[in-house]
Structure 1
Amino acid sequence: MELKEQILAALEGKKGSYISGEALARAFFVSRNAVWKAIEALRKEGHRIEAVTNKGYRLAFDSDVLSPQSISACLGDNAGLFDILVEPSLPSTNTHLKTLAAEGALEGTVVVALEQTAGRGRMGRSFFSPRGAGVYFSLLFRPKMSAMDATLVTTAAAVAVTDALKSVTGVNALIKWVNDVYVGEKKVCGILTEGSFNVETGGLDSIVLGIGINIEPPPEGFPEELTHIAAPLYGDVAPAGVKSRLIAAVLTRFYDFMPRLEEKPHLKDYRARMFLQGRAVEVVVGDVSRRAMVLGLDEEFRLLVRYDSGEQDALMSGEVRILPERSGV
């Protein structure tokens, strides 16, 4: 870790409080001039670091540069569980982390991007990820589970996101089966879970969990095709520190579920927050679409539906699109 990163971690750990240049020099076994140079380098990166004679340096409360140190400071005792990388721009955090996983990256590696130029969602769709408007991150873990259990990862992540949104922003978010988080009638978060298989064992070698949350209005607005679907959490600039706190809260809550994931500790909350029950939907499986009514969710997180024909089904995959209500359904 470079000196400036060490100093940033120290300042993040006592954000708003002063640390003397002498104390920083002693802590990292360098000269005070080296500390000053590191502070200047951090300022050039956008960190608001204040300096007062006889007090030292402090990171201003409204300094809001997303960094490994800002996220780790919010993780507290859980910081040691994660190796966090923050990149200015990536085509896709999931794609990048899958490459790192193939190269031997450890469980708990987290890749964050300030923007994605080719963000991906389910069904091969793109995920709109403009710079500064959201948080886009992926987590690597190597669980002992079958591919059939991967739905547990996606559903646990959805509950973790809704818990994090409530604790950090006060927003009560709901879940659209299987992987979207909504506020009101619009999507604020998408989740994409991807697994890599071990050729020798036939089991899962790793899982990459990708999460994108819309925080602020994009500078140039959402593309026309998304304006009636997507929305940000805030109508204007988000409070300082929200992005780091949200990432940390999601990671912490998700890891709360991990040791008992096969026991489905999140099932009750997922059911309570899934807002599709009683709604008319279009079920799309492959090239076939059928109108249905959502009846609920079973113990395996399968969506229970009744088609207009009267036939009932338990969906393990596919897509559902919300339809306007109509009488007689």
Structure 2
Amino acid sequence: MLASAGDGYISGEHISKTLNISRTAVWKRIAALKKEGYLIEATTRKGYRLLSRETCYGKSGIQSLLRTEYLGRELHFRQSVESTNNVMKALANAGAPHGTVVIANEQTKGRGRLGREWASTADKGIWMSVLLRPDIHPSRVQSITLAAAVAVCRAIEPVLAEKPGIKWPNDILVAGRKACGILTELSAEVEKVAWVIVGMGLNTHFKPDDFPEELRSKATSLSQHLVRGAVLDRTWLAAEILNQFEPVYEGFVRNGPEAMLAEWKERSVTLGKRVELIHGQETVPALALDVGEDGRLVVQLEDGSTREVFSGEISLRYE
């Protein structure tokens, strides 16, 4: 409402009547917006006005840009947490609804696959977890990771000078270097999924020197690859990832993985490549052939036999 008023004022009475809340409730919400970083002027007998149209990175700004039915409609924003996935696990076990989202400005103990540390510096990226409660068999959950990768690519591609690619199972690459990782965790019984948490870590504003020296040749950030004239807005981007994820996920759950997999394969930088499967101390050379409907990678070994690989079993390295 404040944004729609432009440079003009909007009275507290008008807000109160329009939203059917008390004047005290209006004041509390204005105070909450100010706490998020919005510059709001309050003037007696005139009301409130927004001094800057810039959308702040926080709950209100992100939700104002959502086009979703349920993703992010319950959203928890934190300035700093150890891990958004850990916060979400507590919420999931307490009964949080399908589509709940946790976003943090900083993670102090961010994690990637196989327990690896993920740098999650304040103001430098989007650190997000999404709670899903799908009515699917646990064996199909890995495909949700692929769906999330497709959604992230759709969201970031318009601002990039080159097309992002997906490295199986969970990395988004820009110019051959990792810009985003996806970590999917679940709680399930033998035949039924209780919840799935999809954690996404997207580097947006890192400069090359912000990465540890050993990662500079492997990691990158969206800000280093923007199309000329593009503005990198984390608020818009976080909302757009959710806007893209919901239809991709819904298509997968309702109609099966075919359409999502077709797009994933079109964006893949893994299929058709020589790779090394790394399991503990064992390294096995192979050719990446395909990805199955359950999200497993189909590889051809040197003896000509094929093998299906689950993401939790191995790491992947290009030869």
The TM-score normalised by the length of structure 1 is 0.82
Aligned counterpart, 2:192 = 203
Q: Any stretches of 5+ residues in structure 2 without a counterpart?
A: none
Assess if the C-alpha contact under 8 Å between 1:51 and 1:58 holds in 2: no
Assess if the C-alpha contact under 8 Å between 2:182 and 2:201 holds in 1: yes
Assess if the C-alpha contact under 8 Å between 1:51 and 1:57 holds in 2: yes
State the shift of 1:186 in Å. Answer: 0.4
* Residue number among 17, 22, 40 corresponding to 1:29 in the alignment: 22
Equivalent residues in 2 for 1:1-329, closer than 5 Å: 10-11=1-2, 14=4, 16=6, 18-22=8-12, 23-24=14-15, 26-27=17-18, 28-30=21-23, 35=27, 39=30, 42-43=33-34, 45-49=36-40, 56-58=48-50, 60-63=52-55, 65-76=56-67, 78=69, 82-167=73-158, 172-198=163-189, 203-217=192-206, 221-235=210-224, 242-262=233-253, 263-264=256-257, 265-317=259-311, 318-323=314-319
State the shift of 1:153 in Å. Answer: 0.6
SS at match of 2:106: coil
Assess if the C-alpha contact under 8 Å between 2:251 and 2:260 holds in 1: no
| Counterpart Cα distance in 1 of 2:218 and 2:208 | 18
Aligned residue pairs: how many? 308
Task: Give a deviation string over 1:133-179, Cα, whole Å, max 9, x none.
Answer: 00001011111112110111101001011111124657521100011
State the shift of 1:71 in Å. Answer: 0.9
The one-letter code matched in structure 2 to 1:146 is H
Task: Give a deviation string over 1:56-98, Cα, whole Å, max 9, x none.
Answer: 51262334x2111111111046368620110011111001101
Deviates more, 1:224-233 or 1:129-138: 224-233
What is the RMSD computed on CA atoms of the aligned residues?
A: 3.1
Q: Any stretches of 5+ residues in structure 1 without a counterpart?
A: 1-9, 324-329
Assess if the C-alpha contact under 8 Å between 1:16 and 1:60 holds in 2: no
| Counterpart Cα distance in 2 of 1:18 and 1:80 | 32
State the shift of 1:254 in Å. Answer: 1.8
Query: For residues 160 and 96 of structure 1, do their structure 2 counterparts lie closer, same or farther at Cα, with a shift above 3 Å needed?
Result: same
Task: Give a deviation string over 1:246-282, Cα, whole Å, max 9, x none.
Answer: 2222212221133342511301100100012332221
Task: Give a deviation string over 1:26-59, Cα, whole Å, max 9, x none.
Answer: 5443179x74x86566446432346799695126
The one-letter code matched in structure 1 to 2:308 is A
| Counterpart Cα distance in 2 of 1:240 and 1:49 | 24
Aligned counterpart, 1:6 = none
State the shift of 1:222 in Å. Answer: 0.7
| Counterpart Cα distance in 2 of 1:131 and 1:31 | 33
The one-letter code matched in structure 2 to 1:155 is L
Query: For residues 46 and 169 of structure 1, do their structure 2 counterparts lie closer, same or farther at Cα, with a shift above 3 Å needed?
Result: farther
Deviates more, 1:166-175 or 1:48-57: 48-57
Query: For residues 110 and 89 of structure 1, do their structure 2 counterparts lie closer, same or farther at Cα, with a shift above 3 Å needed?
Result: same
SS at match of 1:78: coil
State the shift of 1:292 in Å. Answer: 2.3
The TM-score normalised by the length of structure 2 is 0.84
